[in-house]
Amino acid sequence: MGNTESGSNQKGLSRILPEEKAEIERHFENMCRMQNGPKKSVGLKTFQDALENSLPCTICQRIFDGIHSVRTNSKSSAISAEISKEQFVVFFVDLLRGTAEEKSQVICHMISCNSEHLKGHQVQKFLEDLIAAMIHVLKQHSLLKGWNLERMRDCTLGSHGLAMQLLSQLQSTDGQKFERQELLDSTCSRGSIEDWLYKIPMISLFVRVVLTLGFSILKHHTEHQKDIRTVVPKCTGMKNASFVSLLDLPAVMHLNSYLPSDVQHKWRLLFSSQIHGESFSQLCGHILDQGPCLLIVKDSDGFVFGGFASQSWKVKPQFQGDSSCFLFSIFPRFDVYTYTGYNDHYMYLNRAQQSLPNGLGMGGQHEYFGLWIDSNFGTGHSKAKPRCTTYNSPQLSAKEEFSIVAMEVWAVGDIPEHVLAKNPKSILDSDAEARALLEMTGRTRQSDGLREVPEDDES
């Protein structure tokens, strides 16, 4: 393919305001001043030195290769080992404001210098570097919004898992869809990369955030602020010293992208077996009537999986929820399994019934749930052979019948008004099991409506 064609450079530059162009140029000129003498171009060593504390070295090399691939009106740009200011500006405009075609031309060179024939494993490594850079810049700029990386799963595993999930949505040169391991050795064209970038907006989002934060360019502009709001939700509930989440940050970002847009801005921890104990009554006491929730389970074989409940959990003998519910897997592979339209068995919660199953379930049917937590709490099942009818999910756990090692539940979106209206000093708040049993019997709480507004534990 050669270097990126630049007949549309002037058209591309029209997408930015003069003051934005000046801000990008100033950053490049500052890099030039780091060199000896009045140079107007920048080499790799100076480029890496300038970004030493801002971005990981691996992504710096990729960004430099992407900038160097930009062909400008200057004839020397194609043969010089250094990058020019014009290349630098065009690179930023293409990746921040460009079309999928313009982005793909540059990103192919960021993936490999031989951008004509890209292998799946090269795309995977690029994605891992991009995700690692994403986490790095969010941490550097204090934008983790309450998430504590020291109390989460290792992000290295999550970066690999998310990279493989994103890679699985890329087609080979001849349009075939491969299994993930097969795709690592397949060849991808620039056309397939272009289609992929168009269909998977998360990749372009990550690139924009890494560039704007890594270079501290255009950080105060509206589209950047929107990106930051989108990429990671605010977290409340990680202050307990005994809590270590089953999630990692890549999993949070990935799952958040599948949630309804009106609940993506905030997650709050409702229940953790590490904190609240291994009790089904405690689980119910903390999740009933709390709004949409994400439930995450780790089984005794190390598999991590769960489901999204789009509506408040309620104890009832019928299925509940709607078509925005889904099941997911986090380890050993990332995947999200959405509604098939086959039936409406989205979510189920029941207790103390003789004729119906007692426990929490999602998808499938009685005794054959896509995900089931028994009311005895320590066990569950994922019976999906070959697939769960409601969500088309496979068996999520290592074994069909599994033992629970840990479990946590996160409410997403704003706290429901009826929760805010309750008095946090009610004696029932100190005993979640008593509260759950009271609600399961259908008795009301006399203190409801006379409660103080709870404080946000991260505010």
Q: Taking the domains of the chain in order of start, what are their residue ranges?
A: 9-230, 237-440
Structure confidence by residue, pLDDT tens digits, 338-385: 999 999 999 999 987 777 899 999 999 999 999 999 999 999 999 988
Q: Is the per-residue pLDDT at 61 higher than 90?
A: yes
Mean pLDDT of the chain: 87
- pLDDT for the residue 352: 76
Q: Checking DSSP bridges between strand 368-374 and strand 379-381, what pairing results, if any?
A: antiparallel
According to DSSP, residue 261 is labeled G
Region of poorest pLDDT, from 83-97, 111-125, 363-377? 111-125
Number of Cβ atoms within 10 Å of the Cβ of 456: 13
Task: Kindly indicate the confidence band of residue 145, based on its pLDDT and cuts at 50, 70 and 90.
Answer: very high
Q: Is the per-residue pLDDT at 411 higher than 70?
A: yes
CATH architecture for residues 9-230 = Orthogonal Bundle (1.10)
H helix and E strand count, the chain: 17, 15
- pLDDT for the residue 291: 96
Task: Kindly indicate the confidence band of residue 179, based on its pLDDT and cuts at 50, 70 and 90.
Answer: low
- pLDDT for the residue 444: 52
Region of poorest pLDDT, from 282-286, 330-334, 441-445? 441-445
Q: Is the per-residue pLDDT at 457 higher than 50?
A: no
Could you give phi then psi for residue 376, rounded to 5 degrees?
-75, -10
- pLDDT for the residue 429: 54
Query: 163 near 127, Cβ under 8 Å?
Result: yes
Q: Is the per-residue pLDDT at 447 higher than 70?
A: no
Q: Is the per-residue pLDDT at 395 higher than 80?
A: yes
Region of poorest pLDDT, from 112-116, 174-178, 198-202? 174-178
Percent above pLDDT 90 for the chain: 69
Name every residue whose Cβ is closer than 8 Å to that of residue 354 and which is 6 or more positions away in sequence: none
Query: 124 near 162, Cβ under 8 Å?
Result: no
Query: 12 near 102, Cβ under 8 Å?
Result: yes
Q: Is the per-residue pLDDT at 311 higher than 80?
A: yes
Helix %, strand %, coil % of the chain (to 5): 40, 15, 40
**Where does residue 447 rank: exposed (0-12), middle (13-18), buried (19+ CB within 10 A)?**
middle
